[in-house]
A and B are shown apart, each in its own frame.
Chain A
Amino acid sequence: AQSVTQLGSHVSVSEGALVLLRCNYSSSVPPYLFWYVQYPNQGLQLLLKYTTGATLVKGINGFEAEFKKSETSFHLTKPSAHMSDAAEYFCAVTTGASGGSYIPTFGRGTSLIVHP
């Protein structure tokens, strides 16, 4: 079974400050990991993904995440927050699964609040 834990339902930062959103996963096999962003009244948009290879993954809008197997973590960071980054962020994990289908399991989400 696979699961995702996002630490902190809300994270508040000042504009220009570092953004750090935490994600820990549980998986018995090598995972594929994703971060999605959801703006109000919209669907989810893929920010970045880790499948294999380089553990530091760069995504859209200046976000990046690092896969750390020893810590079972995939934290999302951005050096300098913008007001437009305010949104809900979801971490997701997939593994090889029954039925030959890779169904992502999502965390409960972290709401990023950016103060002027």
Chain B
Amino acid sequence: DAGVTQSPTHLIKTRGQQVTLRCSPKSGHDTVSWYQQALGQGPQFIFQYYEEEERQRGNFPDRFSGHQFPNYSSELNVNALLLGDSALYLCASSSGRRNNYGYTFGSGTRLTVV
């Protein structure tokens, strides 16, 4: 049973460019959350998607946007990249909006902005 799959695993972009990261949730999960993990820090919540809608959002600018598809997979888009956007981006899936039983995380996409 495949867990959470993220692509690509590594990415290098130039400041000002745009990037799209992809995530396929664990089988049976319908909710996808995205986190940004800077080096040496804990994951910071970006937003969560459920039923193809953004249900909750963390303290991130509008440059960060996302989408969820009917098959529950999700994309994270970041526009006008800044050097400070360099981080590990983690996708986590869960079942239902009111999930209290922990998330299943992917291995992440390492984004480097130069």
Residues of A within 8 A of B (CB): 9, 32, 34, 36, 41-46, 49, 51, 90, 94, 97-109
Contact = CB atoms under 8 A, between A and B. Distances in A.
A92 to B, nearest CB: 8
Interface string B35-57: 10000111111001010000110
10 residue pairs, one from A and one from B, having the closest CB atoms? A43-B105, A106-B42, A46-B102, A44-B105, A99-B56, A43-B107, A101-B56, A108-B42, A106-B43, A32-B100
Given A44-B92, A97-B56, A104-B103, 13 more contacts: A42-B108, A43-B92, A43-B108, A44-B90, A46-B102, A90-B42, A101-B55, A101-B56, A103-B45, A103-B56, A106-B35, A108-B42, A109-B42
Contacts of B90: 43-44
Contacts of A103: 33, 45, 48, 56, 58
Interface of B: 4, 6, 33, 35, 40-45, 48, 50, 55-56, 58, 90, 92, 97-108, 110
